[in-house]
């Protein structure tokens, strides 16, 4: 039986604009098991990115509890949250967020510095990750010398650098054509089968179909 890795209990996130309270996430309950590949879909403004930030410990809830591996992240200090993010969560974004002056290899090596991984191991691990994603001939290329699909694969390798349990992907295929989008989705399926937990936020229903579970978010509320 797969263990629960992420749990949200009555989670709310409100934003105040002037005298108005805007509920971006409105009482969400969600349980995610290890190895699940879930997609969260919904229109713009439905609260998808806010949900991603809360699950990824990038933001704290206004109310409610979020557990990662049975640890209530709402009770952690920022330094503890940073360590948690570095070890347990890998992030993949629509805009890739690669450092333009670093090669593909150096971009993937970067997160390991903050986990005190030795140089040789960083290089060895990053080289293997890029090779596994079909980029063995692109190690010394800068992001500007790579296609959109290649840049997204570098971003995925970087997300995997510290062997996280959870991959959070926020519109990771938004800047890719349908062929490259399918390749990224298939990689997520493969990672899920290897035991990684994948949480994909997307507006693309064709990509969401690759997930084992799809949740719909509307007005900050979630449904299957």
pLDDT digits (tens, 9 = 90+) for 77-118: 988 888 888 889 999 988 889 999 999 999 999 999 989 999
HSE, CB side, 13 Å, CA atoms: give it for residue 123: 4
Domains of the chain (ranges plus CATH)? 35-60+74-223 (3.40.50.300)
Quick one: CA dihedral 84, 199, 156, 53, positive or negative? negative
**pLDDT above 90 as % of the chain:** 67
Model confidence at 224: pLDDT above 80: no
Cβ atoms within 10 Å, residue 217? 21
In this prediction, residue 176 carries a pLDDT of: 85
Strand partners, 198: 37, 167
Nearest to 29 by CA among 3, 58, 1, 54: 54
Phi first, then psi, for residue 13 (nearest 5°) are: -140, 115
pLDDT band at 123 (very low <50, low <70, confident <90, very high): very high
CA distance linking residue 20 with residue 33, whole number of Å: 36
Task: Report CA Rg, the chain.
Answer: 17
Stated as kind and residue range, the H or E segment containing 92 is strand 89-93
In this prediction, residue 85 carries a pLDDT of: 87
**CB of 223 closer than 8 Å to CB of 216:** yes
Residues 6+ apart with CB under 8 A from 124: none
In this prediction, residue 82 carries a pLDDT of: 86
Per-residue pLDDT tens digits for 1-44 = 789 999 999 999 999 888 899 899 999 999 999 999 999 998 88
Q: How far is CA 127 from CA 111, 123, 158, in A?
A: 14, 6, 11
Per-residue pLDDT tens digits for 148-195 = 999 999 999 999 999 999 999 998 888 888 888 898 999 999 999 999
DSSP summary character for residue 1:
-
Q: Higher model confidence: residue 16 or residue 141? A: 141
**CB of 3 closer than 8 Å to CB of 34:** yes
């Amino acid at each position: 039986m797969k263990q629960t890795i992420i749990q949200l209990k009555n989670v709310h996130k409100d934003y105040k604009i002037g005298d108005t309270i805007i509920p971006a996430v409105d009482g969400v309950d969600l349980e995610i098991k290890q190895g699940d590949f879930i997609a969260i879909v919904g229109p713009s403004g439905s609260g998808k990115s806010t949900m991603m930030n809360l699950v990824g410990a990038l933001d704290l809830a206004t109310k409610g509890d979020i557990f990662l591996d049975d640890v209530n992240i709402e009770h952690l200090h920022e330094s503890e949250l940073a360590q948690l993010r570095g070890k347990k969560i890998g992030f993949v974004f629509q805009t890739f967020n690669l450092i333009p002056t670093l090669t593909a290899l150096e971009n993937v090596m970067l997160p390991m510095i903050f986990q005190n991984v030795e140089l040789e191991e960083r290089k060895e691990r990053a080289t293997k990750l890029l090779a596994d994603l079909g980029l063995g001939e692109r190690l010394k290329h800068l992001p500007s010398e790579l296609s959109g699909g290649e840049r997204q694969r570098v971003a995925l390798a970087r997300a995997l650098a510290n062997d996280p349990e959870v991959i959070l992907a926020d519109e990771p295929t938004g800047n890719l054509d349908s062929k490259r989008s399918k390749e990224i989705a298939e990689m997520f399926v493969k990672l899920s089968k290897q035991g990684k937990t994948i949480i994909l936020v997307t507006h693309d229903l064709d990509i969401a179909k690759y997930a084992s579970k799809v949740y719909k978010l509307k007005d900050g509320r979630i449904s299957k």
